[in-house]
């Protein structure tokens, strides 16, 4: 997948293209559905497929006081978009200047001239241009004038839920990491590095890893069954874990941490720059204040036992699935 971070990066011979525009926060199943259609149409017509997105998120420029944390920061979003099979992503720097661009100028300069778009795929609530001046009808009119067609998509629903970034963000913020999996099409995960000041060396021998401060969306404070992947894609290892998200109230300190106890731990190569991917699988309980550290230790033992049962059940189910479908 090619990544263009400004219009000047787009090769003169890149188009014609079939495109979609969006923030794609979460790259959820609704996004995946639209992008799959873009990719399929482009391949059928021997054209290029492209997703147009923005960095930072427009809300952080237009409404900084009320902007929401992201489900997927840009690096993670680009990795997920690469997995859709799309040919390229144009990441437009969202500046005050871009925010004042009219719908006509956007369509002319970016869609027609830079990308030579022949089809544009958008949700029915899509709006663009200065102060969100234009909707689908205006987009279709501009398309007729500038030489592209518009395919419009109604919102998708799954198990009675509308698939949207805002609904997914709400579910994660409430700690509902089990049900959000259906809307995302995968378990919710955050990417980061180990927290500093924990004595990480060449060989790390303690079965607890803290995530470095993370500015984007985290689940509600509480205890979760998780998996933690340590290292790069070419050299990584995944551990089963129990993660506490919160302030450790039993110890009387207002010190927010995302702390993961690794169940199947062994000493590993780790430093403060080692990539981590923390995947949230199931919420066990809310964060609580215990009478003393001994009571907390007993509860942690119960949490660990529940997590081990969860992973054992997963292994049994996976084994049965592989036995039933050996070619899968």
Q: Please determine, for residue 327, whether its predicted confidence score (pLDDT) is greater than 60.
A: no
Q: 88-97, 146-155, 177-186, 294-303: lowest mean pLDDT where?
A: 294-303
What confidence score (pLDDT) does residue 252 get?
54
Kindly state whether residues 46 and 135 are assigned to the same domain: yes
Kindly state whether residues 233 and 284 are assigned to the same domain: yes
Of 57-61, 69-73, 233-237, which one has max mean pLDDT?
69-73
Residue 101 placed within a domain: yes
Residue 169 placed within a domain: no
As for how many domains the chain has, the answer is 2
Kindly state whether residues 148 and 192 are assigned to the same domain: no
Kindly state whether residues 96 and 197 are assigned to the same domain: no
CB 320 within 8 A of CB 254: no
Kindly state whether residues 133 and 253 are assigned to the same domain: no
Q: State which residues form the domain around 28.
A: 2-155
Residue 162 placed within a domain: no
CB 3 within 8 A of CB 91: yes
Kindly state whether residues 20 and 148 are assigned to the same domain: yes
When pLDDT is averaged across residues 197-225 and rounded to a whole number, the result is 83
Q: Which residue has the tokens 């660990």?
A: 304
Residue 271 placed within a domain: yes
Residues 6+ apart with CB under 8 A from 269: 202, 203, 204, 231
242 bridge partner residues: 225, 261
DSSP 174: T
Q: pLDDT per residue over 3-39, tens digit each? A: 999 999 999 999 899 999 999 999 999 999 999 999 9
DSSP 298: H
CATH of residue 302's domain is 2.40.30.30
Q: 63-67, 175-179, 258-262: lowest mean pLDDT where?
A: 63-67
Residue 44 placed within a domain: yes
CA–CA separation, 308 and 290 (whole Å)? 23
Of 199-203, 213-217, 287-291, which one has max mean pLDDT?
213-217
- Write the DSSP assignment of 199-244 as a string of letters: ---SEE--SEEEBPP--S--PPSEEEEEEEEEEETTEEEEEEEEEE
Kindly state whether residues 316 and 192 are assigned to the same domain: yes
Q: 95-99, 107-111, 198-202, 223-227: lowest mean pLDDT where?
A: 198-202
CA–CA separation, 77 and 60 (whole Å)? 17
Query: Shortest CA distance to 198 belongs to which of 188, 210, 215?
Result: 210
Q: pLDDT per residue over 161-197, tens digit each? A: 899 999 999 999 999 999 999 999 999 999 999 987 6
Kindly state whether residues 35 and 110 are assigned to the same domain: yes
CATH of residue 48's domain is 3.40.50.620
Query: Shortest CA distance to 267 belongs to which of 185, 197, 203?
Result: 203
User: Looking at 134, 155, 176, which one is the last position of a domain?
Assistant: 155
């Amino acid at each position: 997948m090619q990544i263009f971070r400004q219009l000047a990066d787009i090769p003169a011979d890149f188009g014609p293209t079939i495109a979609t525009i969006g923030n794609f926060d979460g790259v959820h199943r609704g996004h995946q559905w639209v992008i799959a259609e873009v990719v399929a149409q482009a391949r059928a017509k021997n054209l290029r497929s492209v997703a147009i997105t923005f960095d930072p998120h427009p809300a952080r420029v237009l409404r900084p006081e009320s902007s929401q944390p992201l489900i997927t920061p840009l690096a993670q979003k680009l990795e997920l978009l690469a997995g859709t099979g799309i040919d390229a992503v144009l990441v437009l720097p969202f500046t005050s200047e871009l925010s004042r661009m009219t719908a006509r100028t956007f369509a002319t300069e970016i869609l027609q001239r830079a990308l030579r778009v022949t089809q544009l795929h958008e949700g029915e609530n899509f709006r663009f241009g200065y102060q969100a001046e234009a909707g689908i009808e205006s987009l279709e009119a501009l398309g007729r004038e500038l030489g592209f067609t518009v395919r419009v998509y109604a919102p998708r629903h799954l198990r009675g839920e509308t698939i949207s970034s805002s609904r997914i963000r709400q579910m994660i913020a409430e700690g509902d990491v089990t049900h959000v999996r259906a809307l995302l099409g995968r378990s919710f995960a955050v990417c980061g590095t180990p927290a500093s000041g924990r004595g990480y060396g060449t060989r790390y021998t303690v079965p607890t890893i803290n995530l470095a401060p993370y500015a984007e969306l985290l689940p509600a404070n509480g205890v979760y069954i998780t998996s933690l992947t340590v290292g790069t894609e070419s050299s990584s290892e995944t551990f089963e874990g129990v993660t506490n998200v919160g302030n450790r109230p039993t110890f009387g300190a207002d010190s927010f941490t995302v702390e993961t106890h690794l169940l199947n731990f062994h000493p590993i190569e780790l430093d403060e720059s080692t990539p981590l991917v923390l995947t949230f699988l199931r919420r066990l309980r809310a964060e609580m204040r215990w009478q003393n550290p001994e009571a907390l230790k007993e509860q942690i033992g119960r949490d660990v036992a529940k997590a081990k049962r969860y992973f054992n059940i997963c292994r049994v189910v996976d084994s049965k699935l592989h036995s039933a479908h050996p070619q899968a």
